[in-house]
């Protein structure tokens, strides 16, 4: 297997909305380059990527596949990513190790929601990007509309490099305004004939050619001078200008192709090899300290694990990018997460699920290591003595949650191990073993994302599980002050227990004054682990309660706050002032005062205007203007409060505050309501009082649960 130098490597992520044709294009590129002898088909479920069982069942990508090909001496590593926003973790992990992106646009639909969603992430990561309008042979193809939408959504930096001579069933030729040539394809696709541009298209081609040249020149002062002087740039100057402009995201060249009919992929691959940056010239990864890490062909070995997967018949597979030096089989490395020693066994180059063993891989290349122990997605491996940790990419906050439970008892440890393994492989999945709610809750990027996790637990790990509705982490507080009292007295033959406590319970607010009738000796102000505050004031005078019992009193209060008096949910934002009590010289002890404090707090809380609080989330919905009315109406039915709206062309962004309880299944509902064209993100904002009827319902359910 040939080993490529860094300058001859291109790492390209294929991105775009589901159904735009990424997997088909990848298959076509492999075929056109001679890497495979026969093109697979998504419908026939025999493509090189999309090889997992669940991908064949769904008929679309679920995981990012790693492929590679040689195009005229340049190695192109392809990362074929899913197009559904539920799998954003897979897409971002691919973008993080790519040096450029190719976004596919479906010429029948223009810029779709998934494309726009993933574009924003590529933009944040500074990825050089090219575009290709695919399916220009489709019955509903509208290339000009696709271009207009791309310019509207992505900016005037979108510049046409190619356009179809004709669209729909008649599509058979592409006019290239960079080369000023027409490529005419045979019926079966493949290698085109190069022909002069027909007279009927010359004026349009020249207009687009001039727009392209001007876009290249305006991003380079020296080229601008040459352009003004000669009125044109030669091929070398244009290539040089394109390389710089594309690398700096000043130009997004747009091509047109039919991946299904194998028309146009060769020209795109040539552009990838000639114009897109090599790993050495691309945006550098950031270290844990936020500093750029400069790739070094001659440096010590540094690897970044961007994807982990475990196959039953193979073991763990770690997808790696070589960021420095050369990695070889048998090499001793160090995992910087825990300083554990790692010895590289088999090293391979992947073609989907087919692996070819290699002895080494050089800086900038992507490779797969088999059976590394405890190496996860996001880990950095280095030679000993190299002290660097690469920062993993930031993933969006989850937007859906489901509780998971076994259908039969006795396999809790197996479920825990399976969930831990899946979380290591998929950083977009968050697993919460909630002591508070007494549930195991999975947080994911959408309904599909969690259903894939569910499928893996059932089929890969052999566990019979089910999803149930997750409980809401309510909070309890009070709305008025109350003076509570409790005397704990217990006598049973031997030593007894005695403790008496008087306390003032108040709703806490920042800057509230000390009660006029109390003298505060000591204040313990603490931020609670579950949010909010507890302020504990010792106001005892005259020694009626010994100071040594104060920690026990506080412990009793904290114990009841963790399992609130009203609904069993945690309490917050309360001030307690212990101002009186009594003790017995023999029968008083810490246990007695803990009990007295707990009971006084419980009784006083229920008489101090108890109020249930619910978590409120900040929600941002991206939706085409067509569906604005439906989305707004639905938000209103979910007790949502609109915070603002912004327009970006025909796309609207709605910002709202919505209770977490009302967001159950919202991702699915939103897609159904907008025919899959909307997406949303959510983030915890604050707690707010629940309506009275909901409070009564939650309290009643808690009473029934306790009784059961």
**Which DSSP string corresponds to 354-404?**
EEEE-SEEETT-EEEEES-SS--TT-EEE-TT----BPPPPPPPP-EEEEE
**Is residue 314 helix, strand or coil?**
coil
According to the model, what pLDDT value does residue 705 have? 80
CATH of domain 6-274: 3.40.50.300
Range 114-126 average pLDDT: 93
Nearest to 78 by CA among 247, 276, 214: 276
What's the length of the chain? 708
Torsion angle, alpha carbons of 535, 539, 544, 549, to 10: 30
Question: Residues 633, 635, 638, 642: is their CA dihedral positive or negative?
Answer: negative
CA 685 – CA 127 distance, rounded (Å): 31
Range 612-694: architecture per CATH: 2-Layer Sandwich (3.30)
Range 302-382: architecture per CATH: Beta Barrel (2.40)
- Helix orientation angle between 199-217 and 221-230, rounded to the nearest 10 degrees: 140
CA 229 – CA 238 distance, rounded (Å): 15
Write out the H or E segment, with its range, that includes residue 671: helix 666-673
According to the model, what pLDDT value does residue 227 have? 58
Whole-number percent of the chain with pLDDT over 70: 98
According to the model, what pLDDT value does residue 258 have? 97
Write out the H or E segment, with its range, that includes residue 216: helix 199-217
Backbone φ and ψ of 248, nearest 5°: -95, 10
**Is residue 112 helix, strand or coil?**
coil
CB 106 within 8 A of CB 134: yes
CB 15 within 8 A of CB 118: yes
More confident residue, 222 or 19: 19
For residue 568, give both structure tokens: 């069993």
- H helix intervals, 101-251: 113-124, 143-154, 199-217, 221-230, 235-247
Encode pLDDT of 403-429 as tens digits: 999 998 899 999 999 999 999 999 999
CA 474 – CA 672 distance, rounded (Å): 29
Encode pLDDT of 590-627 as tens digits: 999 999 999 999 999 999 999 999 999 999 998 888 89
DSSP string for 484-523: EEEEEEE--SSS-EEEEEEEEEEE--TTPPPPTT----EE
More confident residue, 618 or 237: 618
Half-sphere exposure of residue 595, counting CA atoms within 13 Å on the CB side? Answer: 12
CA 604 – CA 217 distance, rounded (Å): 76
According to the model, what pLDDT value does residue 185 have? 97
According to the model, what pLDDT value does residue 453 have? 96
DSSP string for 525-565: EEE-TTSSEEEEEE---TTSS-GGGHHHHHHHHHHHHHT-T
CA 118 – CA 124 distance, rounded (Å): 10
Kindly give the pairing relationship between strand 574-582 and strand 497-507.
antiparallel
Q: What is the DSSP letter of 85?
A: G
Encode pLDDT of 365-394 as tens digits: 999 999 898 899 999 999 988 889 999 999
CATH of domain 476-608: 3.30.230.10
CA 298 – CA 5 distance, rounded (Å): 11
For residue 594, give both structure tokens: 């803990």
CA 120 – CA 111 distance, rounded (Å): 13
CA 106 – CA 259 distance, rounded (Å): 11
CA geometry: angle 556, 560, 566, nearest 5 deg: 150
Q: Does position 259 have pLDDT exceeding 90, yes or no?
A: yes
Write out the H or E segment, with its range, that includes residue 35: none
Q: Does position 154 have pLDDT exceeding 70, yes or no?
A: yes
Backbone φ and ψ of 339, nearest 5°: 60, 20
Encode pLDDT of 280-330 as tens digits: 999 999 999 999 999 999 999 999 999 998 877 778 899 999 999 999 999
Question: Residues 116, 117, 118, 120: is their CA dihedral positive or negative?
Answer: positive
Q: How far apart are the first and last CA of the chain?
A: 67
Whole-number percent of the chain with pLDDT over 90: 81
Q: How far is CA 682 from CA 263, 468, 646, 685, in A?
A: 41, 21, 17, 9
CB 93 within 8 A of CB 306: yes
According to the model, what pLDDT value does residue 671 have? 86
CA 542 – CA 530 distance, rounded (Å): 35
For residue 663, give both structure tokens: 């967001």
Place of tokens 């941002």: 620
Backbone φ and ψ of 556, nearest 5°: -65, -40
Encode pLDDT of 485-544 as tens digits: 999 998 766 678 999 999 999 999 998 998 888 999 999 999 999 999 999 999 998 889
According to the model, what pLDDT value does residue 313 have? 75
Domains 6-274 and 400-471 share a fold: no
According to the model, what pLDDT value does residue 200 have? 96
**Is residue 417 helix, strand or coil?**
helix
Range 400-471: architecture per CATH: 2-Layer Sandwich (3.30)
Encode pLDDT of 195-231 as tens digits: 999 999 999 999 999 899 888 888 777 767 665 666 6
**Is residue 214 helix, strand or coil?**
helix
Encode pLDDT of 55-80 as tens digits: 999 999 999 999 999 999 999 999 99
How many Å is the maximal CA-CA distance in the chain? 112
Compute the chain's Rg from CA coordinates.
32
Q: Does position 234 have pLDDT exceeding 80, yes or no?
A: no
Encode pLDDT of 455-472 as tens digits: 999 999 999 999 999 999
Range 29-53 average pLDDT: 94
Kindly give the pairing relationship between strand 610-624 and strand 679-689.
antiparallel
Confidence band of 650 (pLDDT split at 50, 70, 90): confident
- The domain ranges of the chain are 6-274, 302-382, 400-471, 476-608, 612-694
CA 297 – CA 281 distance, rounded (Å): 12
- H helix intervals, 261-343: 265-274
CA 257 – CA 265 distance, rounded (Å): 7
For residue 550, give both structure tokens: 């104060």
């Amino acid at each position: 297997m040939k080993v490529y130098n860094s300058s001859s490597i291109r790492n390209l992520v294929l991105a775009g909305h589901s159904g735009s044709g990424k997997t088909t294009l990848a298959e076509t590129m492999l075929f056109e380059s001679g890497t495979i002898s026969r093109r697979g088909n998504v419908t026939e479920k025999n493509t090189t990527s999309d090889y997992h069982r669940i991908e064949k069942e769904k008929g679309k990508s679920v995981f990012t596949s790693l492929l590679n090909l040689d195009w005229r001496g340049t190695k192109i590593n392809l990362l074929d990513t899913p197009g559904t926003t539920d799998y954003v973790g897979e897409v971002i992990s691919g973008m993080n190790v790519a040096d450029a992106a190719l976004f596919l646009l479906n010429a029948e639909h223009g810029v779709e929601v998934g494309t726009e969603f993933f574009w924003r992430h590529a933009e944040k990561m500074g990825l050089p990007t090219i575009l290709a309008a695919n399916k220009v042979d489709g019955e509903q193809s509208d290339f000009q509309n696709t271009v207009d939408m791309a310019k509207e959504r992505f900016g005037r930096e979108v510049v046409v490099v190619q356009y179809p001579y004709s669209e729909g069933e008649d599509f058979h030729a592409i006019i290239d305004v960079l080369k000023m040539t027409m490529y005419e394809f045979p019926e079966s696709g493949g290698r085109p004939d190069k022909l002069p541009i027909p007279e009927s298209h010359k004026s349009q081609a020249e207009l687009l050619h001039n727009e392209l040249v001007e876009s290249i020149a305006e991003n380079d002062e020296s080229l601008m001078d040459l352009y003004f002087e000669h009125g044109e740039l030669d091929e070398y100057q244009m290539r040089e200008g394109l390389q710089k402009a594309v690398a700096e995201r000043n130009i997004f060249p747009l091509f047109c192709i039919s991946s299904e009919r194998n028309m146009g992929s060769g020209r795109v691959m040539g552009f990838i090899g000639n114009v897109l940056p090599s790993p050495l010239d691309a945006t550098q990864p950031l270290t844990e300290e936020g500093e750029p890490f400069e790739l070094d062909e001659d440096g010590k070995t540094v690897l970044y694990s961007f994807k982990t997967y475990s196959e039953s018949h193979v073991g763990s597979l770690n997808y790696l990018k070589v960021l420095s030096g050369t990695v070889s089989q048998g090499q001793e490395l160090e995992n910087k997460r825990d300083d554990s020693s790692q010895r590289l066994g088999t090293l391979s180059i992947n073609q989907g699920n087919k692996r070819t063993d290699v002895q080494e891989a050089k800086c900038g290349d992507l490779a797969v290591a088999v059976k590394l122990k405890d190496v996860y997605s996001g880990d950095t491996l280095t030679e000993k003595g190299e002290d660097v940790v690469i920062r993993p990419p930031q993933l969006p906050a989850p937007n859906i949650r489901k509780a998971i439970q076994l259908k039969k008892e006795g396999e809790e440890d197996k479920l825990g191990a399976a969930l831990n393994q899946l979380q290591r492989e998929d950083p977009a999945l968050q697993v919460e073993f909630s002591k508070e709610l007494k549930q195991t809750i999975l947080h994911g990027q959408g309904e599909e994302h969690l259903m894939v996790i569910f499928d893996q637990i059932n089929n890969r790990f052999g566990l019979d599980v089910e999803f149930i509705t997750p409980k809401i982490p309510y909070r309890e507080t009070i709305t008025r002050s109350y003076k509570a009292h409790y005397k704990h007295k217990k006598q049973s033959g031997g030593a007894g227990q005695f403790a008496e406590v008087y306390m003032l319970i108040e709703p806490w607010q920042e800057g509230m004054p000390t009660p006029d009738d109390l003298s505060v000796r000591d204040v313990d102000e603490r931020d609670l682990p579950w949010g909010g505050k507890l302020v504990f004031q010792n106001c005892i005078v005259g020694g009626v309660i010994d100071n040594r019992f104060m920690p026990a009193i506080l412990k009793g209060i904290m114990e009841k706050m963790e399992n609130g008096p009203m609904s069993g949910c945690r309490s917050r934002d309360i001030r307690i002032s212990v101002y009186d009590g009594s003790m017995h010289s023999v029968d008083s002890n810490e246990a007695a005062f803990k009990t007295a404090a707990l009971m006084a707090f419980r009784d006083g809380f229920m008489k101090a205007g108890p109020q249930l609080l619910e978590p409120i989330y900040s929600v941002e919905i991206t939706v085409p203007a067509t569906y604005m009315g439906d989305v707004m109406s639905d938000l209103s039915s979910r007790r949502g409060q609109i915070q603002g709206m912004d327009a970006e062309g025909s796309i609207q962004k709605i910002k709202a505050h919505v209770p977490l309880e009302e967001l159950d299944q919202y991702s699915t509902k939103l897609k159904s309501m907008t025919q899959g064209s909307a997406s949303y993100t959510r983030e915890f904002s604050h707690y707010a009082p629940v309506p009275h009827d909901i409070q009564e319902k939650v309290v009643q359910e808690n009473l029934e649960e306790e009784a059961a």
